[in-house]
Each structure stands twice: as C-alpha cells, then as structure tokens.
Amino acid sequence: MPMDTRTRFIFLMSPKEFKITKANTGRLTHLCLPNSELHMGMEFDQHVAVQKTLNDPENYCVLLYPGKEATNLSDPAQVPTLGAQINQRRLVVILIDATWRGARSIHRLSPSLQRLPRIKFTPTMPSRYIIKQQPRPDCLSTLEAVHELMLVLEQAGLDQYPQPMQLLEVFNRMQDFQLKCAADPNRTGYRRRPYKDPAERMRIRAERLAANGLRQ
C-alpha cells in the first residue's frame, strides 16, 4: 500500500547497489513512497533531474548524512532550526543508498551534495536486518532509516506518519521471503546456513575486534 508523505524523498543509488535485487531496501522504499524519486549513479553534479530539484527555490533540500554539523532531529532543541529554514517550502530529503564506503565516494564526487544542510537522527533501536550484516549497531538499511526519519519528522510536526509499522511490515515480509528461499534446498543461488540474529552478529563482531585490540 503506497504511503503518502509531505516530505519528498530522493534516493541516490550507487551502481553496485542498483544491481542487488534480492536485498535492496532503497528500491523497496521508493516503491512504497509515491512522493519519491530514485536515481542511479556515482556523481550527481551533472544529473539534470537531481540538479533541478536542488535548484528549485520552492524546495528546502537536506542530506540525511551523519556528522557533527548535522541537525539531530531526535533532539527537540535542534528541531526549530530546521523548521525555521523550511519556511513554507517543501522539505526534500536526499538519501544516498550505498555501502558506507560507496556513500562517502558519492558524497566526495558531488560538491552540490556537500553544500546541502545535513540532518540525522538517533536510532530508536539497532538494525533489524537479518539477511545482511551492518558494520555498526547505529547503521541502518535505507528502509529503516526512512522509518526512523518519519518518526522524528512527525514528532517535530513536520510530517505525518499515521501507520508507523507500515514500512517495517514490508521490510519483514522481504526478509521472511529471503529466509524461506535460503531454507529451500531446491533453490540455487541462496545460502544454506541459517542467519544469526543481528544482535548476536554484533556481539561476535565486538568480541573479535576486542581480541584484535580494536574498537567499533
């Protein structure tokens, strides 16, 4: 079921991520959001559609990207900053759909993205991803990131999220399908080992890093 949002979402997907069809939450999220666009590439300064959106004076474009200078929408004290900047304009959130290394490359190759104000949030819980391991507990899939962002946008009065479980239900159905495929001996191309719980994988990774004298 499509989910209407006041906020417009622009997904910038790396070519590597674009080729992954069995576990691509960016594409899945785009299909759930009628008020969204998806563009594939590594450099977007010459991308006509993206630049048209960024240069439209009726839009207030922000980049969902971590950093000390990013406005944390989970902090009520920082929310008025974003609200004042929007000032009757349309909020457009740019999301880079890639691995963290790929996201850094896209950001580095596109100065127009570097100039955008940044926003972030504090996740309410670690990633629920079972079929894919995240590098850190605070790293989320694109679908989970949009879910968390919609929660804070509604709390800030900047959008409405009347069915907060809708995206997560789609996410869970995707994973349930993949788990069934993995358990089907008649299917080729799927792993044959059971997936560990995300929290268990994080615990094992932390123990390995600690054994090597490293920190997450």
pLDDT at 136: 59
Where does the chain show beta strands of DSSP type E?
8-13, 36-40, 59-64, 71-72, 90-97, 118-120
Tell me what pLDDT residue 192 has: 52
Among the residue ranges 31-45, 97-111, 120-134, the one predicted with the least confidence is: 120-134
pLDDT for residue 40 is more than 80: yes
Q: Which of 24-28, 45-49, 61-65, 158-162 has the lowest mean pLDDT?
A: 24-28
Instruction: Sheet containing 59-64: give its strands across.
Output: 36-40, 8-13, 90-97, 59-64, 118-120, 71-72
**Which residues, listed in sequence order, are joined to residue 94 by a DSSP beta bridge?**
10, 63
Strand 59-64, strand 90-97: pairing: parallel
Task: Give the pLDDT confidence score for residue 209 in this predicted structure.
Answer: 46
Which of these ranges, 24-28, 109-113, 150-154, has the smallest mean pLDDT? Answer: 24-28
- Could you tell me which residues come within 8 angstroms of residue 201 by beta carbon, excluding any fewer than 6 positions away? 133
